Amino acid sequence: MEIVTSLPLYAVIIPLLGAIILAFIPEKDDHVRNPLAVIISLVTAVIVVSVVRMVMDGNIVSYKLLHILPGLEFSFYIDPLGALFAGAASILWVFAVVYSIGYMSHEHKRRRYFVFYLMSLGITMGIAFSANLFTLYLFYELLTLATYPLVVHEGNEEANLAGVRYMVYSFLGAGLVLFSLLITYGLAGTLAFEQGGIMGEAMAAAPMVLRIIFITFVLGFGVKAAIMPLHSWLPSAMAAPTPVSALLHAVAVVKSGVFGVLRVMYSVFGTEVMIELNLGIIVAVLVSFTIVLASIIAMRQDALKRRLAYSTISQLGYITLGAGLLTPMALSGGLIHIINHALLKITLFFCAGAIITVTGKKKISELNGLGKRMPITMLAFTIGSIGMVGILPINGFISKWYLMGGSLEAGMPIFIIILISSAMLNAMYFFPIVSAAFFKKGDFESPQGVEAPLTMLLPIAILAVICVIVGINLNLTVPFIQDVVAYLF
């Protein structure tokens, strides 16, 4: 059943209006701005969860804003895939805002930071709730503009150069998406996201054109999804504050790119066209290269945040690989990893931010003995690392289990080798950090009080526990993921 409600609009508008309100609060009034930012993000999450529950009950939620031309509307349409992305992002955003309060307490330009942080939340919800490529494209472009001030927040040369690279890459990708969007409208007469896709009739008339625009779509959205060789903006963006890095890597920007690729594959082209034109294998091969090479590069990084950045590039490939194999089990693995990677990576980046805030250390080679100084933080980092490798009982295991099963289901066991190789490489660049922190002697001493600000430590601890709980209790994620897969296939 289709439910017409304005709730999706509220989920977009409330953070945007909240950002405007925060802009008028004086810079030094943290006692007003900080609680308000948390309340706004929490209200948004509650609204989104309400929408997600409607979708989980078997409904489709919609709301039309503007009719422009036949087949061209500015509207919202929340199906299971959109609900998955919106739900994960909105809930984790609450943790990110709370964490930001502690991280930014001694930083400059806090008002500007929170204004754009909330603005990015509203825009991300717009991406998740988009009913068609036109609406998605508008919000996709707005997300670049809203996150740019966050990337250059530090205002130094490194941050400014990172901002330039981010904008250049993002607009090049958006240009490819716009080109593909226009051709799609010409072929299909609509840009709507539909179950089974909209390209069925065009397949017989223009198969080569479909192959070309599929590639330009993937490359366009692949910029934000950090598919190699379109990835170099992401490690550069580590010049931003750590909560922004978490936003870029775990919640919003890169996931919006992956979400765009998934929409193109399953809501624009559809599985039948994808299989008929052999488009899935193109994606699978491309991201396999990314999965392995990014992991190899990660091993060579001494800067903690840059190592995590290359880990993100590799891990995002799992999601797209699962989609590209075009089997229900593989897609299940990819979609589960949207949730699992978000939980694991935001935990790891929060740990990195706490380490930088408390010790001032940014390099892995400087972390010997850190477990003595920050035991809770490093325990959470260990949980995140185990999850990234894919070891029970942490939640990352189930993603890789489904992906390997999906590889067999697709008759392509070669991708199991890719996944196992990636897991081994993950262990090689994560576990030495943990080992050095707990088993090597360093200059760190036991903390005299709480090891980090509570607004940072509590989100870290809670998220680490959630990673374990989600890894043990598969009923928290798998049933809904199976509903998403059933809808897309």
Query: Would 178 be classed as within a structural domain?
Result: no
Parent domain of 387: 327-489
Q: Please write the tens of the pLDDT for every residue from 325-352.
A: 999 999 999 999 999 999 999 999 999 9
Query: Would 191 be classed as within a structural domain?
Result: no
pLDDT bracket for residue 254 (50, 70, 90): confident
Predicted TM-score (pTM) of this structure:
0.94
pLDDT of 429 over the 80 cut: yes
302 DSSP β-pair partners: none
Phi-psi region of 278 (alpha: psi -120 to 50; beta: other; left: phi over 0): left
72-78 and 60-69 beta bridge pairing: antiparallel
pLDDT in the model for residue 307: 94
Query: Would 164 be classed as within a structural domain?
Result: no
Nearest to 399 by CA among 323, 466, 487: 323
Helices (H) then strands (E): counts for the chain: 21, 3
Q: Which two tokens stand for residue 482?
A: 């199976």
Query: Would 301 be classed as within a structural domain?
Result: no
Radius of gyration of the chain measured on its C-alpha atoms: 21
How many domains is the chain built from? Answer: 1
Query: Would 41 be classed as within a structural domain?
Result: no
Sign of the Cα torsion 73, 173, 16, 58 reads: positive
**360 Cβ contact list (under 8 Å, min separation 6):** none
Query: Would 337 be classed as within a structural domain?
Result: yes
Nearest to 191 by CA among 129, 261, 263, 253: 263
- Provide the 8-state DSSP code for 473: -
Q: Determine the Cα–Cα distance for residues 354 and 359; give it in Å rounded to an integer.
A: 8
Query: Would 180 be classed as within a structural domain?
Result: no
pLDDT in the model for residue 297: 94
Query: Would 392 be classed as within a structural domain?
Result: yes
pLDDT bracket for residue 295 (50, 70, 90): very high
67 vs 78, residue with greater confidence:
78
> C-alpha distances in angstroms, 126 versus 104, 133, 207?
27, 12, 31
Nearest to 22 by CA among 37, 11, 7, 10: 37
pLDDT bracket for residue 249 (50, 70, 90): low
Q: Which two tokens stand for residue 303?
A: 């800067």
Q: Please write the tens of the pLDDT for every residue from 12-47.
A: 999 999 999 999 999 888 889 999 999 999 999 999
In the three-class reduction of DSSP (H, G, I as helix; E, B as strand; rest coil), residue 193 is classed as: coil
